[in-house]
Amino acid sequence: MDLKQISPYKWELAKTGAMRVPGIVYASAEMLEDPQQAEPLKQVANVAVLPGIVKASLAMPDMHWGYGFPIGGVAAFDWDTGVVSPGGVGYDINCGVRLATTGFEEADVRPRLRELVEALFRNVPSGVGSTGPLKVSEKEEKQVLRRGSQWAVNHGYGTDADVARTEDGGCIAGADPSLLSQRALDRGRKQLGTLGSGNHFLEVGVVEEVFEPETARVFGLHPGQVTILLHTGSRGLGYQVCDDFLAELTRQIHTLGFELPDRQLACAQIQSEQGRRYLSAMACAANYAWVNRQILLHRAREVFSEIFEMGPERLGIDLVYDVCHNIAKKEVHRVGGRLQTVCVHRKGATRAFAPGHEAVCEEYRPVGQPSLIPGDMGTASYVLVGTEKAMEETFGSTCHGAGRLLSRKAAVRQSKGRAINRELEDKGILVRWTGRSTLREEMPEAYKDISKVVDVVHGAGICKKVARLRPMAVVKG
């Protein structure tokens, strides 16, 4: 691929062939030397072919191969003339991250850590196809899909402060449950309040280092503080929504009026009937995911309360923020010196809005939006904050995690004969898991170095490091 270095962490993929815009890749030279980056770079170029794309097809340093779009991809399309593509959102709609602080220091929790992780494992359903104790009727499920986080709070799962500290208030307007298949509804009704499998987790960690003390103070973070980190999404409901619409749109590729470089980029004009239906169905799945994470945080609060025999006020478990990293959203950005309404696809990318942006909750507006970047279970996670440069260059977006280096099958092969749980325990990290091969698939070496990924986006100026979190205990699916 014809890559030209623009700055130490920014590269341009030349506009060639049917590409309507160039590609812009945020990465270090070392990252791009990996031959595995060839496929996601090709996908960056493919996305640049889609009608209505604005400015550039973007990729973050955690990029790797995905369905249609690369994971770690960002692309914005003109709201009136552009397209929306399910592959630009992904199967796990509104997969995202939720961070909460606690009133505990590491020394308070470490003596009871094993008891705590066992209780979390018992009380937070995890694993492939896991179902939870929460039973809702189909009528009530449709209220979940319409109202998002506020539904959870109204039913006793959390507080209004949680809603205020959730991206978009935990609800995308325009969700229409009548557009979902019966199979999607059936899957969602059984899985509300469950963690799922794969790279999803609930983690008890500690603030290891603070880089921006004033911003950390605003977010309620300080060194030595125990935290709770949740990473999960819309479960089987979101998967089914994506699958249903991909099947429909793929059947109608021949009606698009232009040639797709990859069938996995099946799409519809945003203003078409199909485009509007997909966005409404996607909103349902996004709202479901926010409710799911809200319920899981509530369960974690209950476990802490039980283990430490404290009420909510003494526990001090406060939500810092909840962000999604698989979504398509209507937003207004400055493009070529003028404001333009666009549909921003973030697939494995996190919103990183700058200080002063009206979409950032009022208490964080002076410093900017928190961006939560989970690592693997054996290294670290980061709290970042959005910048004005992100607004100028990436539609207010940054990376979403470490990014896989090895496929799950390759990770299982390479970890043969190892006891990953013992290796983690030797590092002071307790882990409980459900799937037989989960720990081998998710071993630390299966991912890029999270610190190097974060150094790229920090060095490029599209966000700033605020704090690093070290895991102490992890529940995996």
Strands 23-26, 370-373: pairing is: unpaired
Q: Which of 287, 372, 293, 290 is nearest to 124 (CA)?
A: 293
Q: Which stretch of DSSP H or E encloses residue 57?
A: strand 57-64
Rounded distance, CA 197 to CA 236, Å?
Answer: 11
What ranges in 165-272 are assigned the alpha helix state H?
A: 182-191, 213-219, 235-251
Rounded distance, CA 321 to CA 467, Å?
Answer: 14
Q: Is 400 marked active-site?
A: yes
Q: Evaluate whether 231 touches 283 at the Cβ level (below 8 Å).
A: no
From the list 64, 231, 400, 458, the catalytic residue is: 400
Strands 463-476, 430-432: pairing is: parallel
How crowded is residue 357: how many other Cβ atoms within 10 Å of its Cβ?
16
What are the backbone angles phi and psi of residue 19, rounded to the nearest 5°?
A: -60, 130
Region for 224 from its dihedrals, namely left if φ exceeds 0, alpha if ψ lies in -120 to 50, beta otherwise: left
Rounded distance, CA 425 to CA 225, Å?
Answer: 20
What's at 119, amino acid-wise?
A
Q: Evaluate whether 329 touches 338 at the Cβ level (below 8 Å).
A: no
Mutual orientation of helices 273-308 and 138-147 as an angle, nearest 10°? 100
- Eight-state DSSP code of residue 53: B
Q: Evaluate whether 319 touches 162 at the Cβ level (below 8 Å).
A: yes
What's at 80, amino acid-wise?
D
Rounded distance, CA 172 to CA 280, Å?
Answer: 9
Q: Evaluate whether 238 touches 288 at the Cβ level (below 8 Å).
A: yes
Rounded distance, CA 314 to CA 461, Å?
Answer: 38
Q: What would the two tokens of residue 271 be?
A: 């203003």
Q: Which of 364, 384, 381, 386 is nearest to 219 (CA)?
A: 364
Q: Which residues are catalytic?
A: 400
